[in-house]
Structures are given as C-alpha cells and as structure tokens.
Structure 1
Amino acid sequence: MNLLIDFGNTRLKWALWTNGRHSLGGVFAHADTSLEAALSANWSALQRPRGIFVASVVTRDRERELGELVENHFHEEARFVRSPAAALGVRNAYREDPARLGVDRFLALAALHAENPRAQILVSCGTALTLDAIAADGTHLGGLIAPSPMLMRQSLGRGTAQVGEGQGRLVEIAANTDDAAWSGCQLAAVALVERFRNTVSSQLGVHVAIVGDGGGLDEWLPLMPEIERGRDLVMRGLALWAEQDGVR
C-alpha cells in the first residue's frame, strides 16, 4: 500500500493505492487551514504505508512542513518526485532543466500516455491553465501556461473597481458587466486551447486529441464538447511512478 499525495497550489489530495487500485482518499483546501490539523484528521486511522510519494508544486518551505508532518505521523520519509528527463515512456521537452517542468504536468502526461499512446494535448485547469502536447511515441513537445478563468476573474476583481467580482452567465456577446467578465475569461481559455491545438496539429501533421483534467475545466467544457474528460491524472501518474520505484 502506497500513500500518494498531490500537493497543489490550492488543494491537497491524497489516496491509498494498492496493486494499481485506489482504495481510500481525501482532498482539502490547504491555503487557509492548518496543515497539521487537516492531515491528522484525514490520517488518524491509517496504517503505515509501504511508501509515501508526493507530487508538489508549492514552495520548498511548504514542502518541508509536509515532510515533517509525514515523518512524525508515519515514521517514514516522504519521497518528493521531480520531473526527470525521461521516465514512464515520456521524454521531457525541458531538456536543459527537466525539473523545471511542473511534476504535476509530467505525471499527468505519463498517465495519459500509458493509457492511450497517441498524439494528444493535455489541458489542465486548476489555479493555472496548463497545456501540454505529447506525440504518440511519448515525446513531450512542450506547452503553455496561462491564468485559469477563475484566476483571470480574480485578477480583474483586484485590478478594477467593479469588474470580475460577480457571477455571470456564459454568452458570446454580453450586455452587462458580470456576463462580460465571466464570458471573456472563459472564451479566452477556449481560444488559447484551440490555437494550441491548431499549432500542434500542423507540427505533427495528424489529428490531435484533447484531454482535459482539473476542477476548473467543468465551467467551460460545454464550449468544447470534443474534449475528453480525464480524471485524477496526476494521482494516476504518481501511482505509476510508485510502482516503478518499487521494482528498482
């Protein structure tokens, strides 16, 4: 049994994996809560796992905090995964400094490629919107990073007096401020994905599938019905990593 932890910008997800299956897990927003209290509540009844693997995009200080809590609770050291030059059938496009590719992006691509090796784009929408392209042979072509629609709206709210704070409706042409801000941020994300797909398709000369993951995707998914819905790709990639680690 491995304990897998996806330590994102906003939320911490954890899951127990045994023989390739997810048996138990949880998720909570960690920005405004005590990490120690939340983890104690989540892990109070857990037995000591065989291994503890973490995919993290937070600061090193926050990682150290998690590492100390894990060691105190389980008397086991957490293994923080970093993006390698190549692993799990994927070759990292960040050749000069592979670890600079967010490990969440690498692991999600690895899970996607393991499940269905083909030319495809991974769209992940959480706090940030990330796009990554991968060829059928596992070559990561690179990607883009932008604010998610949620982050765009928050930026509008901070930078203006009356824009971006209200709930709006998704429309093509808006007749009020709330709808204009809401729709503008959603449509900006869609336009970026469509442009990226066109560029990748031209480069590879083949049809490119699009797979989306992340909680922020749902609000604009109706605009791109061709997007296939991925689920827990980072965690599934982390499970593959843990399995590989176990046979070294």
Structure 2
Amino acid sequence: MTFLAIDVGNTRLKWALYEAPRHDARVLAQGAEFLDHIERLADDRWAGLPVPTRMLGCVVAGDAVKRRVQEQMDQIDGWNLNPQWVVPSQEEAGVVNGYDHPSRLGADRWVAMIGARHHVLRQGGPRPFIVVMVGTAVTVDAIDTDGKFLGGLILPGHGIMLRALESGTAGLHVPTGEVKPFPTNTSDALTSGGTYAIAGAVERMYQHLLNHCGMEPACIMAGGAGWKMMPSMTREFELVDNLIFEGLLVTARQRWERTD
C-alpha cells in the first residue's frame, strides 16, 4: 500500500511517497515545491511515480491552495485517490487537544505534536515534551506525559521580525548578520536579537512545562530554519527534519487500521 504524505506550509509544499503508512517505511520518492509552482507537479515531480494507494495531507495555506493540489492529483492517469486532509480534533493518535476551540489549532502544529509524541515514546516511554517549529512563523507547544497538549506560543520567524523592523524603523535596510554574544554592528544586532527572542520564548515554555510536570521535558525541533536555531538554544534539542511526515504516517496508520 503506497502512501503519499503532503505538507503544505506557508511558502512550500513538501511531499513524500512511502511504501506503506508506517514510521519505518521506505521512502520511494520525495520533493518540495514553492506554492507559486504547484501547477507543475502533475507534469514534472509527480509524473511517473508509483501510483499512491492512499494519501493524507496537512495544509495551513488555505482552501484555495488545497484545491490546486487536488487538481494536480486529478490530472494524473491512474491516481484514483480520495484526498484526505487532517483537521485538528479533540483527540487523535494518543494526543489530546487542549485548545479552547480544537478545530482552530493549526493543522501543522497538531500533526507535529502527534509525530513528536510517538517519536518520544519510541525512544523510551512517556515523558513531557515541547515541540518547536521554526519557519515563516515559530510555534512552541507543550505536551504533558499523558499526551495532552497544554498550550503553546506563536511568534514571528526571523524574516518577519526583520521585515517589521525595516518597515517601521528608518535606516535598518542592512544585510543579514551573525549571532554574537555582544553584537557590535547593526546586522549582527538584528540577527542576534531575533534569534535570542525565539530562544527566550522556548526557554520560558520549557520552564513552564518542567514546573507543571515535575519532570525534565524532551525537546524536539523541526521546520526549515530549525538548524539555524540549534546552536543558540539553552537546552539540548533533537532536530527532526520530517516531523510532520512522521505525524502523518502515524495518523494514517491508526485511521486505516480502524477501517480496514
């Protein structure tokens, strides 16, 4: 049973074709496309792939983008898929949604939590953990030992921070700098300020979760810019490149085991 996992973010669509919907399944093909170029998938990246049996996706870019993706799948001969997209619910795959309005939680955050929960369980059993996703925006989410999502933070990513400063402050159109303990030029000051703002938010959430659970949390980081943050973190983090895909694989397997 070949399985197509799709992660549609704010700027790019990432996809992976697996031989089966399980976390250790072999990857048959994978790729990424900027949202402006989705219409080339059917004729280029997806043309000639083994036919997927099932598909599950996660989208944060809106319904219009989701329809464009589905149109690409419909154009490929033999792809008789019934597209399914994750909508956050009260509970799924062992994670309980503590959001005030569960369906309003970002689908990417929800799927990442599911992936992280099972990633942590495979490493040695239940423990609290935080999930940090660093992309266009940054999210910092806390999950307790029982798998309940307690809440999380949303803050701007590096790019948004810099653009906000450039648009609101005269004379700050400068190149990207480096992260330094004591920045002595404007470029380094901007880059270091944004990095330490994110690191500080993560540290605060870590302390909240530690105090709440009385146990050192595991720390998982994901997102396209996660590697940039790793050297500046005050805690040891594990960088999981395909965390949303891990969540989609777990979710797909559990859903279809109930129906098959």
1:156 aligns with 2:161: no
1:50 aligns with 2:59: no
Pick from 192, 195, 200 the counterpart of residue 201 of structure 2. 192
Pick from 106, 109, 112 the counterpart of residue 113 of structure 2. 109
Q: Please give the alpha-carbon distance, in whole angstroms, between the structure 2 residues aligned to 1:41 and 1:127.
A: 26
CA RMSD in angstroms, aligned pairs only: 1.6
What's the secondary structure of 2:117's corresponding residue? Answer: helix
Contact preservation (8 Å) 1:71, 1:78: no
Match of 1:235 in 2: 245
Residue identity in the other structure for 2:188:
D
- Consecutive unaligned residues in structure 2, runs of 5 or more: 121-125
Pick from 78, 88, 93 the counterpart of residue 83 of structure 2. 78
Q: Please give the alpha-carbon distance, in whole angstroms, between the structure 2 residues aligned to 1:75 and 1:36.
A: 19
- Return the TM-score normalized by structure 1: 0.93
Distance apart, 1:14 and its partner CA: 0.4
Contact preservation (8 Å) 1:53, 1:238: yes
Identity, in percent, stands at: 33
Q: Please give the alpha-carbon distance, in whole angstroms, between the structure 2 residues aligned to 1:138 and 1:157.
A: 41
Report how many aligned residue pairs link the two structures. 245
What's the secondary structure of 2:43's corresponding residue? Answer: helix
Match of 1:168 in 2: 177
- Aligned ranges 1:24-103 → 2 under 5 Å: 24-30=29-35, 33-73=36-76, 74-94=79-99, 96-103=100-107
What's the secondary structure of 1:207's corresponding residue? Answer: coil
Distance apart, 1:48 and its partner CA: 2.4
What's the secondary structure of 1:43's corresponding residue? Answer: coil
Distance apart, 1:119 and its partner CA: 0.6
- Return the TM-score normalized by structure 2: 0.88
Deviations 1:108-143 (A, max 9, x none): 111111122311101110111001111111111111
Residue identity in the other structure for 2:251:
W
Q: Please give the alpha-carbon distance, in whole angstroms, between the structure 1 residues aligned to 2:159 and 2:64.
A: 26
Q: Please give the alpha-carbon distance, in whole angstroms, between the structure 1 residues aligned to 2:62 and 2:163.
A: 21
Q: Please give the alpha-carbon distance, in whole angstroms, between the structure 2 residues aligned to 1:164 and 1:15.
A: 38
- Aligned ranges 1:110-129 → 2 under 5 Å: 110-116=114-120, 117-129=126-138
Contact preservation (8 Å) 2:111, 2:248: yes
Q: Please give the alpha-carbon distance, in whole angstroms, between the structure 2 residues aligned to 1:89 and 1:3.
A: 22
Distance apart, 1:76 and its partner CA: 2.3
What's the secondary structure of 1:122's corresponding residue? Answer: strand
Contact preservation (8 Å) 1:211, 1:230: yes
Q: Please give the alpha-carbon distance, in whole angstroms, between the structure 2 residues aligned to 1:164 and 1:202.
A: 41
Moved over 6 A (4+): none
Q: Please give the alpha-carbon distance, in whole angstroms, between the structure 1 residues aligned to 2:238 and 2:173.
A: 29
Distance apart, 1:104 and its partner CA: 1.2
Match of 1:226 in 2: 236
- Consecutive unaligned residues in structure 1, runs of 5 or more: none
Q: Please give the alpha-carbon distance, in whole angstroms, between the structure 1 residues aligned to 2:60 and 2:252.
A: 18
